[in-house]
Amino acid sequence: MKHISLYDTTLRDGAQCEDLNLTTPDKIKLALRLDALGIPYIEGGWPGSNPVDTAFFRDIRNYHLKNARISAFGSTYHPNGSAEGDPTLKALINSGVEVCAIFGKSCERHAREALRVDPARNLEVIRESVAYLKRHIPTVFFDAEHFFDGWKRNSDYSLAALRAAFEGGAAALVLCDTNGGTLPHDIAAITAAVRELLPDAALGIHAHNDCELAVANTLAAVRAGAVQVQGTINGYGERCGNANLCSIAPLLQLKSDGAYTCLPEESLATLAATASYVSEVANVTLFNRQPFVGRSAFAHKGGMHVSAINRNSELYEHISPAGVGNCQRVLITELGGRSNIVSLARRFGFHLDKDEPVVKGLYNELNKKASLGYDYASAEASVELLIMRKLGRRGVREFFRLLQYHVTELRTEHDTAPSVEVTIKVEVEGVEEHTAATGNGPVNALDTALRKAISQFYPRVREMRLLDFKVRVLSANDGHGGTASVVRVLIESGDADGRWVTVGVSHDIIEASWQALADSITYKLYRDEYAQRGAGAGKK
């Protein structure tokens, strides 16, 4: 079994993603999480280039990392100067790291046109930069920028750039597909050629995803001899992103017939949680259809598929979801059959047959609601409540009953924003509660008023927070359109134990919001009560 060393550059190359901005505390949090995953090298940024990165290298020294070594990133020295006097190399040394990576031009065209330097001088710069850093930093990696494009134009020069770095003492020569335009068969052939010409050098691969091939190119390079893989969590990075370590790690470890290892075996089961955590800290929504770690990676919608996985999940799943910390999801939609309901009920502890009357009744009710616009594929909490009520599960009771709500919204020509007040009357545990609240819009006011009315009976509703609110206009079946259309509201809520989504549908956006909001709070209360009885309700 061959060990492949993972080099994570989420904090540096990943931070160049268009929608991603990391503070120093963000970078510290992510570094600690990546260390817990078992990543051996974490590239923290470019010291001296900006205050965030400079502060990161200062602050990370206060933490003890169990698995990872922090790496600093920079470039070769300026061709008009010297290694000893170059501020970039000094900043790398002053960062206090034991590992660094520097990039240099390995393409003759880039040396001439981008650096505007004699190609021979560029080779001197590479060799001297690595050698100088080696006198101060134990481990120096060389990122051969534009290597594959350069090889196609002038392979002798690109090879000479690698030799210069190797002679300078580089611990690994990282072949970079900087523009992300190389195809897997070329990656494999070129990497193999370098492997043969430089048999004593350790090779790495740094692939970009401009052709949706970064993961494939990385695997091709590994099969051809690369022993270091550079990439990012969730594939974050400039333009179309970098090679996604959340795909590469399980592909190497689970799909290579035991040929490779890259993470501690127990760590792979935390991969989905790590991907989610990184997306939360980065404030970038995790792509649902991301392989291995996305919410949809093991989601089943078609009735025939679900019928098959009820017999053997391997029939429609290429690995066990638990192997990467994910879980199987069965979706309830108009495309799903009764097998979907049976599968969901089994997850909740009910073993039913698809020919039972209650299953047929649920199937008809769910289809009817789906035809009205209810999206139960997205709103799993609402469908769980519906099934549990139908099956008579203890714990799903009427925690509160709406008697009346009234929404008042006032705006004058001089107001910058309308003022909204909601009064609500509900019955809670046999007691009638009548409260009022204001808010930033009618839904926020309705949410505040409802919580105020029931919090003295169920104080844990204060733990909830509304994470997302989505409204979609649906096509009306009654001939009405435009502002008279039916709307669907999806509300995502969460607490310290998880998150869940509920749905509401109506011609009235406030009524649709009320349905979703009421389901969300009911789900919270039901789950908490069930957990308190020692059974646990499962996280969503």
What tens digit of pLDDT does each residue of 436-448 get? 999 888 989 999 9
Cα dihedral 244→103→87→126 (10° resolution) = 160
**Which pLDDT value is given to residue 306?**
58
Amino acid type, 308: A
| Average pLDDT, integer, range 518-523 | 94
Beta pairing partners, 232: 244
Band (172; pLDDT cuts 50, 70, 90): very high
Tokens standing for residue 428 = 């809670």
- The answer, yes or no, to whether residue 354 has pLDDT greater than 80, is no
Beta bridge mates, 488: 472, 505
Which pLDDT belongs to residue 538?
41
* Contact indicator for 102, 143 with CB cutoff of 8 Å: yes
Q: How confident is the model at residue 417 (pLDDT cuts 50, 70, 90)?
A: confident
pLDDT of residue 337: 65
Helices (H) then strands (E): counts for the chain: 17, 18
User: Rounded to the nearest 10 degrees, how much is the dihedral formed by the CA atoms of 226, 227, 231, 235?
Assistant: 70
Average pLDDT value for residue range 83-97 = 97
- The class that CATH gives domain 2-282 is alpha beta
pLDDT-derived band at 537, boundaries 50, 70, 90: very low
pLDDT for 205 equals 98
What is the model's pLDDT at position 333?
A: 57
Q: How confident is the model at residue 396 (pLDDT cuts 50, 70, 90)?
A: low
Give me the pLDDT at residue 128, please. Answer: 98
Helical segments of 348-471, H only: 357-372, 380-391, 442-454
- Average pLDDT (10-19) is 95
Each domain of the chain, given as residue ranges in start order, spans 2-282, 299-372
pLDDT at 286: 86
Mean pLDDT over 258-279 rounds to 94
Q: What is the rounded CA–CA span in Å between residue 140 and residue 93?
A: 11
DSSP string, 58-119: HHGGGS--SS-EEEEEEEPPPTTS-STT-HHHHHHHHTT-SEEEEEEE-SHHHHHHTS-S-H
Average pLDDT value for residue range 258-283: 93
What average pLDDT does the segment 145-160 reach? Answer: 98
Query: Is residue 53 scored above 60 in pLDDT?
Result: yes
Q: How confident is the model at residue 378 (pLDDT cuts 50, 70, 90)?
A: confident
* Tally of CB atoms within 10 A around 243: 29
- Residue 336 above 70 pLDDT? no
User: Does residue 408 contact residue 421 with C-beta atoms inside 8 Å?
Assistant: yes
Residue 400, classed as helix, strand or coil, is strand
- What per-residue confidence (pLDDT) applies to 288? 86
| Residue 14: C-alpha distances to residues 26, 263, 434 (Å) | 13, 20, 51
* End-to-end Cα, the chain, rounded Å: 37
- The larger pLDDT score, comparing residue 413 to residue 517, is at 517
Express each pLDDT in 22-35 by its tens digit.
Answer: 999 999 999 999 99
Confidence of residue 305 (pLDDT cuts 50, 70, 90): low
Whether residue 176 is predicted with pLDDT greater than 80 in this model: the reply is yes
Q: Give the pLDDT of residue 540.
A: 39
- Indicate the pLDDT class of residue 413, thresholds 50, 70 and 90: confident
Mean pLDDT of 3-20: 96
Distance CA 339, CA 315 (A): 15
- pLDDT for the residue numbered 348: 66
What lies within 8 Å, CB to CB, of 204 at 6+ separation is 7, 141, 172, 173, 174, 175, 226, 227, 228, 229, 230
pLDDT at 539: 40
Give pLDDT tens digits for 95-125.
Answer: 999 999 999 999 999 999 998 999 999 999 9
Would you state the pLDDT for residue 477?
52
With tokens 């597909």, the residue in question is 177
List the structure tokens of 169. Answer: 């003492």
d(CA 176, CA 179) in angstroms, rounded, equals: 9
The pLDDT score that the predictor gives to residue 411 is 78
Candidates 470, 450, 469, 472; CA nearest to 524 is 450
Selection from 175, 171, 296, 290 nearest residue 224 by Cα? 175
Q: Model confidence at 481, in pLDDT bands (50, 70, 90)? A: low
Bridging pattern class, strands 498-506 and 299-300 = unpaired
Q: Indicate the average pLDDT of the chain.
A: 89
Q: What is the DSSP letter of 11?
A: T
pLDDT at 412 over 80: no
pLDDT of residue 346: 73
| H or E segment to which residue 179 belongs | none
Percent of the chain with pLDDT over 90: 67
- What is the pLDDT, as a whole number, of residue 358? 80
Among all chains, which residue has been given the structure tokens 């009976």?
457
Task: Quote the pLDDT of residue 292.
Answer: 96
Rounded mean pLDDT, 76-92: 96
Q: Which residue has the higher pLDDT, 280 or 47?
A: 47
Pick from 222-236, 266-280, 347-361, 453-467: least confident:
347-361
pLDDT number for residue 231: 98
Residue for token pair 């080696």: 134
